[in-house]
Amino acid sequence: MNPDLRKLIVLQDIEKNISALHKKAAEIPVKTSELQAAALRVKTAHEEKLSLTKDIANRRRTLEGEVDLARTKLSRLKEQLMAVKTNKEYTAMLNEIRTVESHISSDEDKILDAMEEMESREKALSLAEKEMRRECAEIDAEIRMLNESAPALESDLEKLRAEKAAMESGIDPELFAQYRKLADARNGVAIAEAKDELCTACHIRIRPQVYADLLLTETIIYCDSCSRILFIREEEKA
């Protein structure tokens, strides 16, 4: 294989790795933001459950207060009942007493319902809090791992950049200029493997004579279809 072509193949692999690491590094803040948003959603959902439980507790206290006031009123009505002088007043007072007693009974049923719902929600809330803490801990661990991976990525990038510069300096300038032009025009892929008489980049069949030249010579040969530099692996030639 042409020595410069061999270097270009290595260079293209280095540039692919650099591109992949750049992409990975760029994803860190994006993924971190997504994880932080996920943690916020988990916490918000738990706070909503807490708020609902507090609302039930407040409703129960309100009902208990209303029952206490109603009992006070009922006690006063019963005292007043002893002082009425006419049947009409007595009947009216009894009706009012029954109404207050009915309200007390209804509110006491509501208090019992609230107590049962509170008991059920408190048990569920305890489990939900454990789950929320577990999920948040996992998310925090992922964020920590992402942030800790950034220095290693930058170190790897620095090494690859140094390798890239060293490789570029050893390639024929004219050929390197052609490689760079193709790479810029072809999303970083300037060199394509020829296999089974096909260009593996554009998947167009290579002319028999061109394929024969690839097998037998070290000349730089371009794909007739996509203009990429073609190469055949040594094991394929063998």
- Model confidence at 238, pLDDT cuts 50, 70, 90, reads low
Residue 82's pLDDT band (cuts 50, 70, 90): confident
Residues 37 and 109 in one domain: yes
The residue from 151, 171, 191 where one domain ends is 171
> Do the domain assignments include residue 6?
no
212 in Cβ contact with 174 (< 8 Å):
no
Amino acid at 75: S
Does one domain contain both 22 and 56? yes
Average pLDDT (84-91) is: 88
Res 124: pLDDT: 85
Distances (CA, A) of 100 to 59, 63, 78: 19, 14, 11
Same domain, 64 and 133: yes
Q: Could you tell me what percent of the chain has a pLDDT over 70?
A: 98
Which domain, by its residues, includes 154?
A: 12-171
Residues 44 and 146 occupy one common structural domain: yes
196 and 140 co-located in one domain = no
Which percentage of the chain shows pLDDT scores above 90? 72
pLDDT at 51 over 70: yes
pLDDT in tens, 125-173: 888 889 999 999 999 999 999 999 999 999 999 999 999 999 999 999 9
Do residues 99 and 165 both lie within one domain?
A: yes
The distance of Cα 99 from the centroid of its chain, to the nearest Å, equals: 57
- pLDDT surpassing 80 at residue 1: no
Q: How confident is the model at residue 237 (pLDDT cuts 50, 70, 90)?
A: low
Residues 131 and 196 in one domain: no
| Residue range 4-19, pLDDT digits in tens | 999 999 999 999 999 9
Is residue 3 in some structural domain?
A: no
pLDDT, average across residues 183-207: 93
Is residue 54 domain-shared with residue 159, that is, in the same domain? yes
Q: Note whether 22 and 139 are same-domain residues.
A: yes
Total number of domains constituting the chain: 2
Last residue within a domain, chosen from 153, 171, 189: 171
Whether 77 is covered by a domain: the verdict is yes
pLDDT confidence bin for 25, thresholds 50/70/90: very high
